[in-house]
Structures are given as C-alpha cells and as structure tokens.
C-alpha cells in the first residue's frame, strides 16, 4: 500500500458523527460564497449546525471561481494549519485526496445511504479510491441565460430559440440604448460563457471530445473556430466597463433593468431571488440557445481535512450528515439557485427555474449528456483548465482572432497535459 493511500485509509472514520453536540467542536469553514444570494444560502447550513450546538467560524475568500480560496488553502496547509472544512470543486477534491489530506466519510455515507442517491457523475469527484472524501452540497449547471423579462416584453422579443435568435435579440436590445449582455471581465466568467457557446456550436459529443478527451483535432477544428467567432459576437454586445466586474454585479445589471441578458451558471438565480424577483414574472431562465438537452455541471462539495481531535471529528461528521440530509438539500438549493445532489429530494419547494433544472439534470443523466464543466474544473484538472482560460480570455480581449485562438488552444492544452 502506498504511503498516500495508507494516509487516506487511515484517516478519520467519522463513526462519531452521531455524537452529542456537547462533544463537537466548532467548524472553521473556508469558502468563496460571499455574494448576497450565496451568503443567504450558506446561512441555511450555519443555522442547521448551530441548532446542533456546533459553532461556525467563517473564513470567506472572495472570488467566484474559487481560485483565491485554493491559494489561501494551500498556504494554510503548508503552514500545518488546515481549516476543518473546505468548499471545493471537481478535480481539486481528487488532488487533495491524492495527497492524503482528506478524511474518510464512509461511515457517514453508509449511515445516510449516499451511494444509492448521489448520481454517478458526482460520485466520480466525491470518492477517491472507492472511499467517500467529500459531501456534495448541490449541482450547479453553467449553460444558462438569465434575462430581464420587462425589457424583452417592452421590445417584443420572444425567448430566443436558436443562436441566430439570440444574436438578433441582443442587437434589438442594443438598438434600444441598453446593454445587451451583462458580463464581468474575469477569466472564469469568460470560460463559463465558453461552456455554453462550445455546446451551441458543436453539441455534446464535440464538447466531450474537446474538453474531456482533449482531442487535438476537436480543439483545433472549424467547429472550435466557430465557437470563438460566437464569443466575438458576445464580446461586441457587452458594455465598455465590463473588465474586472464581479459576476453578481453583472447579475444586478439584469435585475435592475440596465441589461437584458447574462450567461452565467445557475448560482445567478440566487441573486434574482435575493432581490425579490420571481422567475417567469420578472426574469427568464433558459439554456444557451443551441445547447438544450445538455447540462454542463459543477458540484460544490465540502471536503473535511484530516484532524485528530475527537471534538473536531464529531463536528465534521455532523456537518457532513447535515449537508446530505434531504431537508437541508431542499432548503439550501431553493435559496442557492442550484439543484440537490441527491436524486430523492422532492421538487415541491422549488420555483419554476429550479423545477426545470432538476428535470433537465435527470434527463441529461439518463441521456449521457450530463457533462462536467470545463470552466469549473469538472472536465479536466487545473493545469488544463487554466491553459484554456488563458486562451479564451486572450481571445475575448482581442489578442487573437478566432482561427488563431483555436490554434493556440491546441498548443496550450498540449503544453499543460
């Protein structure tokens, strides 16, 4: 047995998760949920734990893609002082597990029946070497468009059904003197748009070939050139002040009627709900035109770092059990804008966009079109993801034309592998 595997298998067995609250310490939680909607969702978990007598030491690190949080985490671990629980995405979880840094959640998972209710696509990230090493909080999907319904109604614009419809709608909005597409000029936001745009240009098999299989023919193909051309079209419809804008401020532009559309993951819905808006009445949610039938996903999960103190282990186990309880999965995801990580959670409490998201997720899982998001670390590891980020952002900012960008994408991915 390798040293790393021995460390993992010898890590905390959370058999004490049912211990009394009096035996449980507080939890120190590192996360990047700092926007209004995200903070409101996180309070659901805080309140649940506080009801068990477990305190919450908050360690927020702003930055919607989580890169800053992972930098902070690395510094803490290097200093020998890791947090007890950390929000993580995708291959980051697997990488930390391979280092032997994460605890073993098998006892909690067995008691709560996780194997039977968590989709296989999520288990691929939540397990390492067959053992549960994180608790999935939700499933987000990235290929969404959010629209201000009042603007569309005023201009007589129907919900776009095709890419050409979407372009025509943006042109009409811009002609009215408003911003067509709200966007924040950050690499992860451009990559998030690219998820849906690549699907719209090439479909799920092409997306998988390019971003999961890293096929150089797909990465440098005419279809990828078309995807970059579509990104150029989007770039022509953002406002001049987009650079550096946080994603939730772009959402606020749509909420406040300053812009008509935003391409963003379904965490954006939490901002609309936090502003008192109602789907179907104040805003619309639909897939990036041309990407319907496919769901590109990422799943926020909380990984528990190895600890030796019994009270800390009890708190971690209680937190993992709380995260995966059906009642919490419903309450949290109703607020967050995402859908539950469990397939057995009823949709009664969810709004129209939530019900749509749950149905589309289930259909995509059945059809084999539930695909890990490139932009959010669920298609390939960080080195490849970051290489793609660099090309997509450079192109979006005018450093490459579409043809050159596709060529650069092949080179960047090859260098990162």
For residue range 60-109, what is the model confidence (pLDDT) as tens digits? 888 766 778 888 988 988 888 888 899 988 898 999 999 999 999 999 99
Cβ contacts of 2 within 8 Å, gap of 6 or more: none
pLDDT for the residue numbered 8 = 38
CA distance 198 to 163: 12
Largest CA distance in the chain: 66
Do 3-139+300-349 and 141-296+357-416 show the same overall fold? yes
Q: Looking at the predicted structure, is the pLDDT value of residue 417 above 50?
A: yes
Q: In whole angstroms, how far apart are CA 12 and each of 55, 101, 103, 133, 279?
A: 21, 11, 5, 10, 43
Q: What angle do CA 237, 32, 249 make, to 5 degrees?
A: 30
Residue 229 exposed, middle or buried by CB count within 10 Å (0-12, 13-18, 19+): middle
pLDDT for the residue numbered 44 = 86
Altogether, the residues listed in the chain come to a count of: 417
Q: Name the residue with tokens 């010898």.
A: 10
CA distance 295 to 342: 16
pTM listed for this prediction: 0.82
CA distance 172 to 168: 6
DSSP3 helix / strand / coil % (the chain, rounded to 5): 55, 15, 30
Two tokens, residue 186: 């950050």
pLDDT for the residue numbered 13 = 40
Domain 3-139+300-349 fold = D-Maltodextrin-Binding Protein; domain 2 (3.40.190)
Q: Name the residue with tokens 């709608």.
A: 169
| Average pLDDT estimate for 386-390 | 97
Q: Name the residue with tokens 């009270």.
A: 311
Cβ contacts of 115 within 8 Å, gap of 6 or more: 109, 123
In this structure, CATH architecture of domain 141-296+357-416: 3-Layer(aba) Sandwich (3.40)
H or E stretch at 28? strand 27-31
**What confidence tens digit (pLDDT) does each residue in 30-62 have?**
998 888 777 888 888 888 888 888 889 989 888
pLDDT for the residue numbered 32 = 86
Domain coordinates in residue numbering, the chain? 3-139+300-349, 141-296+357-416
Q: What is the dihedral of CA 278, 284, 287, 288, to 10 degrees?
A: -140
Nearest Cα neighbor of 152 from 286, 350, 335, 295 is: 286
Q: How many CA atoms lie within 13 A of 311 on its CB side?
A: 11
**What confidence tens digit (pLDDT) does each residue in 313-348 have?**
888 888 999 999 998 899 889 888 889 999 889 999
């Amino acid at each position: 047995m390798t040293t790393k595997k021995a460390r993992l298998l010898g890590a905390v067995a959370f058999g004490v998760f049912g211990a009394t609250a009096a035996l449980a310490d507080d939890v120190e939680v590192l996360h990047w949920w700092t926007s209004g909607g995200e903070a409101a969702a996180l309070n659901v978990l805080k309140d649940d734990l506080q009801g068990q007598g477990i305190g919450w030491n908050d360690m927020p690190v702003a930055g919607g893609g989580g890169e800053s949080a992972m930098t902070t985490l690395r510094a803490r671990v290097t200093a020998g002082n890791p947090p007890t629980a950390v929000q993580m995405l995708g291959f980051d979880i697997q990488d930390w597990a391979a280092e032997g840094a994460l605890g073993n959640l098998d006892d909690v998972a067995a008691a709560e029946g996780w194997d039977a209710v968590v989709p296989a696509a999520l288990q691929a990230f939540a397990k390492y070497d067959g053992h549960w090493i994180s608790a999935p909080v939700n499933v987000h999907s990235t290929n969404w468009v959010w629209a201000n319904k009042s603007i569309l109604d005023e201009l007589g614009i129907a919900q776009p059904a095709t890419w050409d419809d979407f372009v025509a709608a943006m042109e009409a909005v811009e002609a009215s003197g408003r911003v067509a597409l709200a966007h924040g000029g950050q690499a992860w936001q451009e990559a998030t748009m690219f998820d849906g745009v690549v699907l719209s240009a090439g479909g799920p098999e092409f997306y998988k070939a390019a971003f999961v299989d890293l096929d150089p023919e797909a990465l440098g193909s005419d279809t990828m050139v078309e995807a970059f051309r579509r990104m150029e079209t989007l770039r022509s419809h953002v406002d001049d002040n987009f650079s550096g804008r946080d994603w939730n401020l772009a959402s606020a532009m749509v909420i406040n009627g300053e812009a008509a559309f935003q391409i963003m993951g379904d965490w954006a819905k939490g901002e609309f709900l936090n502003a008192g808006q109602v789907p179907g009445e104040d805003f619309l949610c639909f897939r990036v035109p041309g990407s319907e039938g496919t769901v590109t996903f990422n799943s926020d999960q909380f990984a528990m770092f190895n600890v030796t103190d019994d009270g800390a282990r009890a708190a971690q186990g209680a937190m993992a059990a709380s995260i995966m309880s059906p009642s919490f999965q419903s309450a949290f995801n109703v607020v967050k804008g995402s859908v539950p990580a469990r397939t057995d959670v009823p949709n009664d409490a969810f709004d129209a966009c939530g019900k749509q998201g749950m149905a589309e997720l289930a259909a995509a899982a059945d059809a084999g079109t539930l695909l890990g998001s490139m932009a959010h670390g669920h298609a390939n590891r960080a080195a490849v993801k970051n290489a793609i980020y660099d090309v997509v952002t450079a192109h979006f900012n005018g450093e490459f034309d579409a043809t050159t960008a596709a060529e650069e994408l092949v080179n960047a991915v090859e260098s990162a592998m």
